[in-house]
Structure 1
Amino acid sequence: MTDSRRRSLLLGSLAAPLLAAPAYAQGWQPARPVRMIVPIAPGGANDIIARMIGERLSAVIGQTVIIENRPGAGGNIGAQAVLQAEKDGLTWLFTSANVLTANTYLYGSRMPFVPLRDFTPVTRVGVGTLLWVVNAQRPWRTFQEQIDFAKANPGRVTMGSSGTGAISHLYFEKVKRETGTDMTHVPYRGGGPAIQDLMSGNIDMMFDVIPALLPHVREGRFRALAAGSARRIDYVPELANVPAMDDLLPGKGIDALNWWSVVAATGTPEPAVAGMHAALQRVLAQEEVKQRLLGLTVFPLVDENPAAFGAFWRAQVPVWRELVEASGATAE
């Protein structure tokens, strides 16, 4: 699959994802608080986006939305918690792409569920890219300076990720292959703990989703050396001059894009799934929410309906399989 095709598959529905939301779906009105399980530790991008959306979702559905962090096993523990809950429309999974795609190939025979069989799609809520950042106390001022150092000092540069097989890890391995460098991957149970270690200088860098990194770039603790997308992030002033992958590694086809979504356990009543989709459409149509997400470099979107998200999800599985297999990453 070509890289232009990958990008088209990922961004294809951005053209008109936030049309005026339909009337709130009838037949679903949660009678008790709703749980949104986030399968990573607090402080990472999943957590930040989920809490932002959950706050607004509470007002739309008339019930408290409880954000519950259940990290571990690359997101599988949180996903299993959703599968083990009552299928009553009160428990949902808010996750990035890896749990629904890459983990199948990372965990192999140890994968405890089949994502496309055991979960039913609701919708994506956003798409974003990665940012290559270093601790501001490190000497590297440019991406090339760091790559030159890594070539001269194999294994010395340490990169913290939100977990083995996370998008940060998979694209870090791709950059290593394309630059011919030997840098050390340090997996964490979510982006939050990795950020803490990067702040304290225990690791050198991260190449991760942007929402949790951007405040530290703005406050001068981290230095941004590269955007993971093919093109520059020119819609965020602080990042407009940060070179992108096409600038730094032209012709290598690196265009790191991630997506966040809400899914439910298979067997959740269809009116609840349709109701959650409609509620999220109302949330993402709010101008304040859209602007807050864009400020975090996340493109807000809602798929036309759950079936449309399901089709996109199925098309993404071979893309992530290729990333995992090329990286050599495994959680077995």
Structure 2
Amino acid sequence: MVLRRSMLLGASALPLAFAAPSLRAQGRPVRLVVPFPPGGAVDLLGRIMAEKLAGPLGAPVVIENRGGAGGMIGADFLAKGDRDGTMIGLLGVTILCAFPFMTSRLPFNPRTDFAPVSQITDGALMCVVNAENARRNGWTDFRKLVEWSRAHPDQVKMGSSGTGTSSHINIEAINAAANAKILHVPYRGGGPAITDTLAGTIDMMFDVMPALMPHVRSGKFLALAVSSRERLSILPDVPGMGDFADLGLGQHNVVTWNAVMAPGGTPAEHLNRLNAAIRTIAGQADFVEKLKPLGYGTVVSETPAAMNALVEAETPAWQRLVQVSGARLE
């Protein structure tokens, strides 16, 4: 399955098209909704962004964690939020492009209940296993893990930040393509899943990199693969799915992204101002460098309309991925 980005440009190549007038006169901070609990990858990204955005927006940026249901609770909170330019949220590709195909009871419409601001990151998912469990079971590489799961159905337990997340869809697609038998265990966020993986209560995660990398460096996790077809330049020794064509995974290529969105109906002048602020921080070398060790690439949308076009372009690919994986939110 191929997922490609479109309508995007690197931050350094983009001129600052709009000024970002101060919100301080309103006497209100900007609220940044993170649809996961503290401690996970998206929360880390949100906190880095909040620190940087205060300057160009001229107002403090306050994180609001609204975790649960794979991001659905926080996304619904954002959809029903203030439309005056003082509320934004970090939404992942699955919320915007996959959720509509995973349930008939979605409490919001991704096409109409959110207003686009900009993409902010992209990156592949990384498969990590508890190092002690891996040594005990002989999981020296991803191939061994898949083969072991075939012989021991549902005994390899993979934690994710919730049902319907890119991690969930990704592992179900891998199970289907490779005849693997890895059991998905959803949590209310990445933080609790990491805690249980460290303890060995569950065996593995296949998730976004930021919160996983410190534990790989410490030796508590072993990195076995990434979800993109090709290897990543920052992890050249970690195989991509193209290395496992013999397992049926040669065409598997999942690359995720995060976007800054506002509640639907937010006026265009606010969206343009917010987009300008995002592009300002994305053009700062220290912001980009902070994200690199976490496995995030910095990618922004030239305009809010370009962000909207990205959602339109990628939705069919994620629809197919949901169908292949059989992942559901019910």
- Asked if the contact 1:21/1:278 (under 8 Å) is kept, the reply is no
Q: CA deviation at 1:197?
A: 0.6
Is 1:316 matched up with 2:310?
no
SS at match of 2:216: helix
Q: Choose from 40, 51, 62 the match for 1:55.
A: 51
Q: CA deviation at 1:285?
A: 0.2
Q: Distance in 1 between matches of 2:303 and 2:177?
A: 38
Q: CA deviation at 1:88?
A: 1.1
Q: Choose from 98, 109, 112 the match for 1:102.
A: 98
User: 1:18 is aligned with what amino acid?
Assistant: S
- Asked if the contact 2:78/2:89 (under 8 Å) is kept, the reply is yes
SS at match of 1:116: coil
Q: Choose from 38, 56, 71 the match for 1:42.
A: 38
Q: Distance in 1 between matches of 2:109 and 2:13?
A: 32
Aligned to 2:16: 22
Q: Choose from 243, 261, 264 the match for 1:266.
A: 264
SS at match of 2:305: helix
Aligned to 2:128: 133
Normalised to the residue count of structure 2, the TM-score between the two structures is 0.93
Is 1:224 matched up with 2:223?
yes
User: 2:193 is aligned with what amino acid?
Assistant: A
Q: Choose from 75, 80, 96 the match for 1:79.
A: 75
Q: Distance in 2 between matches of 1:302 and 1:44?
A: 22
Render the CA deviation track for 1:252-272: whole Å, top value 9, x for unaligned.
Answer: 311110000111112212211
Aligned to 1:171: 170
- Asked if the contact 2:37/2:66 (under 8 Å) is kept, the reply is yes
Q: Distance in 2 between matches of 1:288 and 1:77?
A: 32
Q: Distance in 2 between matches of 1:266 and 1:94?
A: 14
Is 1:300 matched up with 2:295?
no
Render the CA deviation track for 1:174-229: whole Å, top value 9, x for unaligned.
Answer: 11122212121101111111111101111001111111111110111100011111
| Structure 1 residues without counterparts, runs of 5 or longer | none
Q: Distance in 1 between matches of 2:306 and 2:162?
A: 29
Q: CA deviation at 1:20?
A: 4.7
SS at match of 2:63: strand
Render the CA deviation track for 1:230-281: whole Å, top value 9, x for unaligned.
Answer: 11122x2xx3211111112366311110000111112212211110000010
Render the CA deviation track for 1:59-115: whole Å, top value 9, x for unaligned.
Answer: 22121100110011221211221232221111111111111121111121x111111
- Asked if the contact 1:159/1:186 (under 8 Å) is kept, the reply is yes
Moved beyond 6 Å, runs of 4+ = none
| Structure 2 residues without counterparts, runs of 5 or longer | none
Greater shift, 136-145 or 208-217, is seen at: 136-145
Cα distance change, pair 179–26 in 1 and its aligned pair in 2 (3 A): closer
Q: Distance in 1 between matches of 2:306 and 2:258?
A: 15
Q: CA deviation at 1:150?
A: 1.1
- Asked if the contact 1:128/1:298 (under 8 Å) is kept, the reply is yes
Aligned to 2:203: 204
Q: Distance in 2 between matches of 1:26 and 1:61?
A: 6
Render the CA deviation track for 1:40-68: whole Å, top value 9, x for unaligned.
Answer: 11111111111111110012212110011
Q: Distance in 1 between matches of 2:176 and 2:265?
A: 42
Aligned to 1:285: 283
- Asked if the contact 2:117/2:271 (under 8 Å) is kept, the reply is yes
Q: Distance in 2 between matches of 1:313 and 1:64?
A: 29
Q: Distance in 2 between matches of 1:193 and 1:331?
A: 20
Q: Distance in 1 between matches of 2:154 and 2:98?
A: 26
User: 2:61 is aligned with what amino acid?
Assistant: V
Q: Distance in 2 between matches of 1:210 and 1:164?
A: 18
Identical amino acids, percent of aligned pairs: 40
Is 1:253 matched up with 2:248?
no
Cα distance change, pair 179–83 in 1 and its aligned pair in 2 (3 A): closer
Q: Distance in 1 between matches of 2:193 and 2:294?
A: 19
- Asked if the contact 1:173/1:327 (under 8 Å) is kept, the reply is yes
Aligned to 2:144: 145
Measured on the aligned residues, the alpha-carbon RMSD in Å equals: 1.7
Aligned to 1:120: 115
Aligned to 1:241: 237
SS at match of 1:155: coil
SS at match of 2:175: helix
Q: Choose from 62, 67, 71 the match for 2:63.
A: 67
